[in-house]
Every structure is written in structure tokens, then in C-alpha cells.
A = this chain, B = another copy of it.
């Protein structure tokens, strides 16, 4: 008997059909010019803009996120698409490297060798629950893959199936309007492990991008590693985003820092990968910091979380931490009658306990934070050493603090993809220099970001052309450099022709 849930589950046959189509589309799409790809991407952006009102309405119904927040996320999603369009128009991104021939070299002549980044294949993208636009159907992963010349089979997140269908329709319509090959983008709905595993292990899928929980991300990594042909998995699995507050600034500005971090912690019911979940304060201003932080928490009402399972998981984690003998609750927000409302929590943990108990290092997805007071420099370093890999680590410090803790800050680089001074980790800029990825378990591959233009390189590989006649080379590698891109030629960078 077919249940309601079952109705939305893609069958293996449907997934196979989507992947086969994506593979065939890839053979055509990978050869299209940057300008044709730009037409397609811009049609997606225009489609989203046109449907903004109805998309917003559906997103609010499915995610409980506020209208202003979702509207901002639509802007971000459109801006992401525009940023990749600009990247494709400039064409520098292909990293053209040229070494010209030395026919007279002895003992053997040196051949002409040229390299550039080319599209990777048909790829699978898994949508996230917490960003129904920016990390979902037409989100960063999908757009980076399409910009690279890959085709996409997209697995929608079950937390917002209707919205996913709407955006998928916009992408497919944009593809048709701009004469893209059939199958360039397909969406499947699935909420169980089996269809996801079938997709990950399909021989024609060549990479996977994912944003979500550690458990799901690790399962995807393991499924991909077990394939006959292992493939790369770019799983962004969240992080506790530790914040270190150094002595001088702790003494001088603990109230301001507490207010800024509490606001960052409470944003969108704490449902950000970069939510500051662990805060380590030097003892100098720690008491006041915790007092002011707790005032913000106590005054905050619970907001509805994205889904039942995320809410249940939050409740479970709050109980787990509360049950620790050494842990005290130093702030608890206002319980709300809203559906799946997450009451904000603030915990205090002795440094020694935190260093020893790895369970306390696990992410609590939601508006909760763990506060630790460090007695001295040594203890700050010990806490740093106890940390697992992170997306971000934030340091608050005066100039003196930074100078006095140079070793600590230098060491913290090993634990995170992004180091922030005197700021909050939330608010991930979509820009060229962004690194949204970090040492495991923050991501499964900390060489790559899932936000910003360099995220395109998750979906490319270098291809090298040896001894090709000029006319048979891709435009990016031809002698005349008619498209005027920056290239490394014989070790130096130039836009000159050869």
C-alpha cells in the first residue's frame, strides 16, 4: 500500500532516467561558450525575480522563516547567479597555463603543453533545509556546477518540497528558453536513505555537493568512497564556530561584544552553519559578558524551527548538555506557543570539562551557546587545541591582545577555514575571497569552499593539451588570446598573445 510519504519518493528508475539525461546533456553543455551559459544563468535569475511573491509565500509556509529574512535570501540567490555570470564573462577563471615548445632543446625537444580547468561531469546536489533559496534548488551549489559546465541532478530537501518544485520549474523553463540541452537540470524528491544512496552511487554521477548535518554528510561521504569509482564529496556539515574573547577587550567591551554575539546566536532561531555556538572568554570581563549575554537570551522568545526533525534534534541536544553534572544553565529564553519553537539556551561549562568531554564539542543546531571562562593564556591554548575542525573561528581582541596572542591566532588557522577578527561569524559574504569550508568535521574536503566564486573549482578538473595545432585548441588556450584573459605563459602572467 502506498503511503503519502512514499508518493514523494523518487524511484530508482526515475533517478536513473534523470542521471542518464544529465550525462547526455553534459556531453553537449560542457562545450558551450561562456556566453551561452550566462544566458541560461541569467534566465534563472530573471525567473526567480518574476516569481518572487509566490516563492516567498510558499517559503514562509514551508520553513517558518520570516519574510524579511527570506526576501533577503532571494536577493542573495539572485546576486550569486549574477556573480557567476560575471565570472563566466571574464573567462579568467579557467586558470589557463601555457608552456610553449622548445624544439631545439637537447637531449629531447620540449613539446607545447597547455592546461585549463574543464567541467567535471554530471553531478548530484543535495539541498539544505536552512537556506530554502541560497543553498537549495537554484542555490550556490547548483549555480556553481552549472557555471562550471556540469549538469545537475538535484535532491530537494524534504523540509520545503513545494518551494523546491517551483524553483526547479523556473530552472527547467530557463533552460528551455535559452536552448539548453534537455536534462541539464533535474530534481528528485526523497526523504529516505535509499534513493539518496542510489543517486550518490550512480556510475554516471561524478561529484556530490551537500549542505546539512554531520550525520547525513558523513553517510554521503561513505557511500561515495565505497563506489567502484570513488568520487569527490563536498559536504558542508556545520560547525560550532568558536569565539575567543581576549583579556584586554574582554575587560573593555564585554557588554558590546555580548550583545553582538547574542544577536548573531539568535538569528533565524540559530539555524545557521556559522552560528556562534561556543564562546570562550578571558576571565577579565567574563562575568559581565555572561550577564549581558544572558539578558539577551532571557529576553528572547523561541522561534519556530525549520522542521519537526530539526526541532526534535534541538530538544535532544539541549537535554544532553543540560544533563551534564558540570554544566549550568545561565540563560533560558521565553517559551513560545509557536509550532516547533526553539527556546534559546545559554550554558556555562568549566574549561576543564569542555576540554575533556568531546560530546560538548558537537554542534547544537539552534539558538544555544556554550560559555567557557579561560583562566589564562595557557588555558586559551588548551581549549584551542581541544577543538575539532570548524568553518569559522572568531577572535575579539585589541591590538595588544592580538600581539600578545599571536601564537594562539596562528594556531587557530589550523582549525578553521575562516578567521574573523572583532566580528560575528554569521553573514557569509558571497564574494571571491570567501572560504566557507574548513577542516573535518566541518567539511569533508577543506580544500574547497561552498560559497563564493572559487566554489566553481569543486566542479572542474585540469585538462592538458600537448602538441595541439593552434586551431584545435580551446579559445582560452589559443595563441591570439582573442578573448583577452589572463594566462600563465612560461611561468609569468600575461594577457599578451603568443
Complex Cα spacing A229 to B449, Å: 18
Among B97, B411, B413, B421, which residue has its beta carbon within 8 angstroms of that of A463? B413
**A177 → chain B closest CB, angstroms:** 26
Question: Could you say which of B410, B432, B467 contacts A97, with CB atoms under 8 Å apart?
Answer: B432
- Chain B residue numbers with a CB within 8 Å of A422 are 467
Give the residues in chain B near A99, CB-CB below 8 Å: 429, 431-434
Decide if A414 touches B108 in the complex (CB within 8 Å): no
A472 lies within 8 A of B421 (CB): yes
Q: Are B491 and A464 in contact (CB under 8 A)?
A: no
Within 8 A of B (CB), among A369-409: 389, 399, 402, 409
The residues in A between 459 and 493 inclusive whose CB is less than 8 angstroms from any CB of B are: 460-469, 472, 486, 488, 490-491, 493
Within 8 A of B (CB), among A196-245: 221-222, 225, 229-230, 232
Pair A493/B493 contact, Cβ less than 8 Å: yes
Contact with B along A25-69 (1 / 0, CB 8 A): 001000100000000000000000000000000000000000000
Task: Looking at the assembled complex, report how far the CB atom of A24 sits from the nearest CB atom of chain B, in whole angstroms.
Answer: 12
A391 to B306, CA, bound (A): 46
Contact B429 A447 (CB under 8 A): no
A178 within 8 A of partner (CB): no
Residue among A90, A229, A410, A432 with the most chain B CB within 10 A?
A: A432
Please pick, from B110, B414, B466, the residue contacting A418 in the complex, using a CB distance under 8 A: B466
Contact B421 A469 (CB under 8 A): yes
User: Taking the complex as formed, is A118 at the interface, i.e. its CB lies under 8 A from any CB of chain B?
Assistant: yes
Name A residues whose Cβ lies closer than 8 Å to a Cβ of B. 27, 31, 72, 86, 90, 92, 97-99, 107-108, 110-111, 113-115, 118, 121, 221-222, 225, 229-230, 232, 389, 399, 402, 409-411, 413-414, 417-423, 427, 429, 431-435, 437, 440-441, 444-447, 449, 454, 457, 460-469, 472, 486, 488, 490-491, 493
| Known A417-B462, A421-B465; 14 more pairs at CB < 8 Å | A110-B429, A111-B420, A113-B431, A221-B225, A225-B230, A232-B447, A409-B472, A413-B463, A417-B464, A421-B469, A421-B472, A423-B466, A432-B491, A449-B462
A-B contact pairs, 30 of them (CB 8 A): A31-B410, A72-B107, A97-B432, A97-B433, A98-B433, A99-B432, A110-B431, A111-B429, A113-B429, A113-B431, A113-B434, A115-B432, A115-B434, A118-B413, A221-B225, A221-B230, A229-B389, A232-B447, A419-B463, A420-B467, A421-B465, A421-B469, A432-B490, A432-B491, A433-B464, A435-B463, A435-B464, A437-B462, A447-B460, A486-B493
